[in-house]
Amino acid sequence: MNPRHVAVLFALAAAASACHKGGSKSGPVVAKVGDEVITADELKHRLDETSPFLRARYNTLDRKKEFLENLVRNELLAQEAARQGFDKSPAVKEQTKRAMIQELIKHQLDEKLTGADIAEADLKAFYDGHLDDFVKPERARVFHIVLAGKDAKEKAEARKKAVALLKDIDAREKKGEVNAFQTTAMKESKDQLSAPMGGDLRFLSRDELAKAYSPDLANAAFELKSPGDKAGPIETPAGIELVKLQVKTVALNRGFDESKESIRSRMARERRSRDYDEWMKKLRETTKVAINDAELDKVQIEGAAPQQQPGVQQHPNAMAPQQPQTPPTAASKIGGN
């Protein structure tokens, strides 16, 4: 038998094993296949699962019969699969187990995922407790070069040097040296903290930059508009400075009403994750689970490098271990994947 057909029979047999017999289904009966019935409610449910475009086709009796015939065909195949014992197949049992787990997770956890039951006071408390996520000032990442200048004479010399450095930086950038400013800062800047990093001051708001360095530097930096723009020479308490804008972030100011629904979704997701962990902990505590390390260690994993025994050196010409596969996601772990 074609493997694809076998897979279809497996799936259909799993569906058949989950079905209720005869009169246990509610609603008018539109078809009977052996001892199994197909009700009007079931037919409608299956139609509702299709796209609106396809659903619009089934508006006449003939079209409805056409759709019903597909359900009858599936039921015939499912019953035949069960008669041949496919419902007892390990593959079908595994698929049934996965389907049960999905339904369990859906009813136990996912039905609360909308967060509709989260009180507005709780949403507001979350907003107030995470205000930095919703209200952020404009920030800029800038580089600067500090040339020392205490008195008027030193400042004049520093200013003259700053003009020359800026001219040199511009010329080198035009030739394609994109990090000319940073290279110069590492060599010339007297700011011992930022010079080793090319004068990088990281991301700071205007107020943060003013407090950490000076209002003059902050004002000059935030007047720059585009990445790569430069300003200076600027006279500051530290001396004479040059500044270059790397990038700016846009200010964020989202009020509670604007943020409420995103907070609801976030709280619901976090609650689901927390509930899942607590639920699994309880299941583990109330069910005896035994791990046989000896037999587990004997399981051979195809493609895995053999485990090196303690004290045994690997031959230099031995094959290098393969790169590990991408670890499974949290979602893939559910259901035994």
- Beta-carbon contacts of residue 13 (< 8 Å; ≥ 6 apart): 78, 81, 82, 86, 87, 89, 92
CA gap 291, 300 in Å, rounded: 17
**For residue 194, what pLDDT band results from cuts at 50, 70 and 90?**
very high
Of residues 30 and 9, more confidently modeled: 30
Strand partners, 33: 36
pLDDT value of residue 335: 40
Buried b (16+ CB within 10 A) or exposed e, 258-294: ebbeebbebebeebbeeeeeeeeeeeeeeeeeeeeee
- The dihedral through the CA atoms of 191, 196, 200, 201 has a sign that is negative
Residue 19 has pLDDT above 50, yes or no: no
Which structure tokens are listed for 260? 């409420």
* H or E element, residue 90: helix 90-108
Which pLDDT does position 84 carry in this prediction? 93
Give the lowest-confidence range in 126-130, 145-149, 247-251, 313-317: 313-317
pLDDT of residue 24: 56
- Does the structure show a pLDDT above 60 at 191? yes
Q: What is the mean pLDDT of residues 156-173?
A: 94
The answer, yes or no, to whether residue 129 has pLDDT greater than 70, is yes
pLDDT at 250 over 90: no
Q: Return all residues near 140 (Cβ < 8 A) that are at least 6 apart.
A: 203, 204, 205, 206, 209, 221, 222, 224, 245, 246, 247, 248, 249
Range in 7-16, 75-84, 266-275 with the lowest mean pLDDT: 7-16
pLDDT at position 316 over 50: no
What is the per-residue pLDDT for 261? 92
Q: Is 0.85 topped by the overall pTM?
A: no
pLDDT score for 263 = 94
Per-residue pLDDT reduced to its tens digit, 67-93: 999 999 999 999 999 999 998 999 999
Residue 319, pLDDT score: 43
Residue 9 to residues 4, 31, 55: CA-CA distances in angstroms?
Answer: 9, 21, 26
Query: Mind listing the domains of the chain with CATH numbers?
Result: 3-89 (no CATH), 109-133+256-292 (no CATH), 135-252 (3.10.50.40)
Residue 23 reports pLDDT greater than 60? no
Name the strand (E) or helix (H) holding 256.
helix 256-286
Residue with tokens 């590990």: 324
> CA-based Rg of the chain, rounded to a whole angstrom?
35
What pLDDT, on the 0 to 100 scale, is given for residue 100?
92
Whether the pLDDT of residue 301 is over 90: the answer is no
Answer yes or no: are the C-beta atoms of 146 and 191 closer than 8 Å.
Answer: yes
Termini Cα distance of the chain: 27
Band of the pLDDT at 22, cuts 50, 70, 90?
Answer: very low
Confidence of residue 15 (pLDDT cuts 50, 70, 90): very low
Instruction: Determine contact, residues 229/244, Cβ cutoff 8 Å.
Output: yes
Mean pLDDT lowest among 108-117, 216-225, 305-314: 305-314
Strand 239-249 relative to strand 252-253, pairing: unpaired
Q: What is the pLDDT of residues 36-54, one digit of tens each?
A: 999 999 888 899 988 888 8
Arithmetic mean of pLDDT over the chain: 83
Structure-model confidence comparison of residues 56 and 25, the more confident one: 56
Report the pLDDT value the prediction gives residue 233, as an integer from 0 to 100. 94
